[in-house]
Amino acid sequence: MAKLKICDWSSLNENLIHIRVATLKRLLPIAVSYGIEQKDPIIEPLVNHDSKEPIDGPIDFLNDEKPIKLFPDDDDHVNHFCGKEHQCHELCEEEGICNVVTEPKKQEETYKGKVEGTVFIYTKHIQLSEKLKCNKKIPPNEFEHTGKHTHKEEGVFHYCDKKCQFCKYYCTLPYGHPQQIHDTKHGNMTQTEFTGEDDEFVYAGYNLRVGDQGTFVLCNFFCKDLGRHRHIDYCQNDENCKLENQRRDLQHINVKVSPNPDKPKDFISHKLFWERTGFKDPYTVQEQQKFAKCDHECPDEKHHKSGSTSFCELQLFHAPISKPPNDYGYISTDGHYFNCENPNNAFHIIFVLDYSSSMSGQDIKPMQDFLIYNDLTKKHNNRIGAVYQAVYLFMNARRNSAKITMPDSISLILFNHEPIVPFEYRDLTNLKDLLNSMLQYKANGFTNFDNAIQKAGILIKTHFDPMKVNVIIFLSDGECKTPTNQLNAICKQNKEKGSPLYLYTKIA
């Protein structure tokens, strides 16, 4: 519109002035009253009010000041000339987050995995956060207050604006906190996806595939469900990895791993994983200590059957070792140390067999249709013959075991009132020779356990090998005083050497 000043209309008829002013007030009430710009939803060409002819040229304003844009449908803005103060409606512009609800909202959702049939309900935790409105008042006849917009003028608190990269939860420490490490309660890992050396795997009882989303897992529970574990992350210094100048808490992966198989990746420790996030490790000290240990398991099936998994006793990513600490436990072929019996270990097996006169009884005989039956029935168709057959079958089974990577050693003690040693510390390559050594001895004499066990201790000491487990298999059909002193001596001897001793007895 043209720039008009009502005081310049002195040349007009007074009645016409009143008519014109009334018309302007009706059409542009705010513009005439206060000299500001008022937007009208209907845009019409500017015309001469008397002649109705369009007016060409630049548009000017009723007031001499720079116009202030207002929205007439917003009562909070158009009433600033009512003589009262008004609440500011802008958002707080202080750095940080005004409000974070530290107890997340929970809701149930359904996850459908990449593996067919993997569908389950999980709880999604949602952290609520917001910027609050400014709490300052706008003074009367003003359009803004002085100073920054803030939701609280004194003692204002703002949360840190750093988010966890996995769950996108804000840090719950004050903005600008002095601690280098951020902290939060953590939520669902919505920004992650599973990866692994195998395309399909089981996690927390669910069948998953590489590329499945981590939305159903919480940051602070993910590692707990894994137990001892390692994480996979993108390699941050490929050149160092190629030169093997890598940290002790990571191990370069030399194969392609999805997602993005062409990008090199590392195995990293639990500790390094959380260091890289910049957030406090949410797990207990005891859990962190467990996660720092090597995640290799002893393959012996007995652990799986009993539910007592045996792990390597060393730290994660340790260098291979060749000898057990304190000569106890065993070292796997790839250099891991397990504090249990080697499932593929070699044994020094010492048979301690009663061949006193009572063993000539024929109530128990060698079994037909089994190995060496014909050899035994010629001179040993009795109890001692049945024992010889059992020993031979055992040795044959050990020799033919596919799991054995080191050869066993076998010793044989036959005892009545005195022990004899038909063979000692022999391997199992020539079973026929060992059998012939046994068959030379017929049942005779009376029984003495003490001397027999003492002789077993001597053989263990003479042929001690820290890489072999000593096993005594004791068989007798008689009665005799328990050789307590001799057994204690053997156990003490093996304990001092850090070697376990296994004793199996069968007394009829």
What pLDDT, in 10s, does the model give residues 399-440? 887 455 568 899 999 999 999 999 999 998 889 999 999 999
Domain-located, residue 151:
yes
Q: Are residues 71 and 105 in the same domain?
A: no
Are 159 and 30 found together in one domain?
A: no
Per-residue pLDDT tens over the stretch 131-156: 999 998 988 888 889 988 988 878 78
Same domain, 149 and 30: no
- What are the residues facing 106 on neighbouring strands? 125
Q: How confident is the model at residue 111 (pLDDT cuts 50, 70, 90)?
A: very high
More confident position, 14 or 466: 466
CATH of residue 378: 3.40.50.410
On whether the CB atoms of residues 387 and 353 are closer than 8 A, the answer is yes
The length of the chain is 508
What is the domain extent for residue 53? 6-78
Task: Please state the domain count of the chain.
Answer: 3
**Of 200, 216, 232, which closes a domain?**
216
Summarize pLDDT for 244-260 with one digit per residue, the tens: 666 688 999 888 888 88
> Which is more confidently placed, 60 or 183?
183
Residue 306 inside a domain? The answer is no
What's the CA gap between 21 and 354, in Å, rounded?
132
Amino acid identity of residue 328, one-letter, is Y
Q: Look at residues 78, 103, 138 and tell me which one is the last residue of a structural domain.
A: 78
Please indicate, yes or no, if residue 461 is contained in any of the structural domains: yes
Q: Are residues 361 and 451 in the same domain?
A: yes
501 and 371 share one domain: yes
Neighbours of 15 (CB within 10 A): 8
Q: Do 483 and 353 have their domain in common?
A: yes
Question: Are residues 355 and 503 located together in one domain of the fold?
Answer: yes
Whether 269 is in a domain gets the answer no
0.75 surpassed by pTM: no
Examine the domain organization and report whether 383 and 490 are in the same domain.
yes
Does residue 322 lie in a domain region?
no
Domain-ending residue, one of 17, 51, 78: 78
Indicate whether 60 and 93 sit together in one domain. Answer: no
Instruction: Report if residue 212 sits inside a domain.
Output: yes
Domain assignment of residue 41, yes or no = yes
Domain match, 113 and 163 both: yes
Predicted pLDDT at 404: 57
Q: Are residues 64 and 101 in the same domain?
A: no
Q: How far is CA 253 from CA 201, 203, 242, 346, 360, in A?
A: 18, 21, 10, 33, 65
Q: Are residues 448 and 495 in the same domain?
A: yes
Mean pLDDT, rounded, of the chain: 83
Distances (CA, A) of 399 to 395, 460, 464, 467: 6, 21, 21, 18
Is the residue at 249 inside a domain? no
Dump pLDDT digits (tens) for 340-352. Answer: 877 767 789 999 9
Give 97: exposed, middle or buried? Use CB within 10 Å, 0-12, 13-18, 19+.
buried
